[in-house]
Amino acid sequence: MFNIPKEKAVPLGCITPAPVGEQPMMITGNWREFRPVLEAEKCDLCMNCVVFCPDACFALDDAGEMVVLNEKYCKGCNICINECAPGALTAAYELDFDDGVVRLDKPF
Binding site for another protein (CB under 8 A): 29-33, 75-76, 93-95, 98, 100-108
- CB 90, min distance to another protein, A: 17
Query: 61 with 98: CB under 8 angstroms?
Result: no
Instruction: Give whichever of 13 and 107 is closer to another protein, judged by the CB atom.
Output: 107
Give the CB-side neighbour count of residue 62, counting CA atoms within 13 A: 0
Residue 96's closest CA among 43, 33, 39, 28? 33
Instruction: Give whichever of 30 and 70 is closer to another protein, judged by the CB atom.
Output: 30
- CB 18, min distance to another protein, A: 24
